[in-house]
Amino acid sequence: MFRVDWVEAYLSRVRPWQVLAVWVPVSLWFGLRAVRAPGVGLVGALLLFLGGLFAWTLLEYIVHRWVFHFLPDSGSELQRDLSFLIHGVHHDWPYDPDRLVMPPVVSLPIAIVIGLSMRTVMGPRLFPGLFSGLIAGYLWYDMTHYAVHHLKQRTAFGKLQRRNHLTHHFTQPEARYGVTTPLWDIVFGTHPASTQPARGGRARPPEAEAEGS
């Protein structure tokens, strides 16, 4: 993807353990801060964590639908290049194991912007617990995304996640944006009852059939 070797090797390729190594300590640190925040305590911190986790599912849907799948201006080469770098490369090579989770060099500045915005809105007392849950939600998303592409799913929910995501890739790229949960696709009407190709989409891959889709 990149002509500069060190950018290609160290900034664009990442494995799941590297994402966990960066973000698990951050989530735990904010969780500890939430427990110690005045008037919050353990129960309050847990409720805030669950709120942040739930908020992630909506953020995941919004980002996947309107950022990852934004339609570039046909006359703008810059927009087309950005569209490809942000998400198009994943749809062209969906089984590349090094590009299934987000590089920390990308996720860190995004997290800073989101975190500062949340702190401004929620205040310093509620923010740590919510942000801890939001980060945990992001980790849930990234690990799920890797798993549905590379690991055999053995639970009913895991098979549902895999079926939804592979259907999004191979037959309905304009639907099924949720990776961790289909909740917001159902709410916003982007979860068709059928998994058959839409708008001339391609046939589903054997992996989707094997999971009973």
User: Domain spans of the chain?
Assistant: 5-151, 155-213
Please give the pLDDT value at position 81: 55
Please give the pLDDT value at position 55: 97
How far apart CA 155 and CA 123 sit, in angstroms, is: 39
What's the whole-model pTM score? Answer: 0.81
Q: Please report, as a single letter, which amino acid is at residue 133.
A: G
The token duo for 209 is 């059939």
Residue 109: Cβ-neighbour burial (10 angstroms; 0-12, 13-18, 19+) = exposed
Q: What angle do CA 78, 95, 55 make, to 5 degrees?
A: 70
State residue 125 phi and psi, 5-degree precision: -80, -40
pLDDT per residue, tens digit, the chain (213 aa), is 545 454 455 456 678 898 999 999 999 999 999 999 999 999 999 999 999 999 999 999 999 888 887 776 666 666 555 555 555 455 555 656 666 678 788 889 999 999 999 999 999 999 999 999 999 999 999 999 889 988 889 999 999 999 998 898 888 888 999 999 999 999 999 999 877 665 444 444 444 444 433
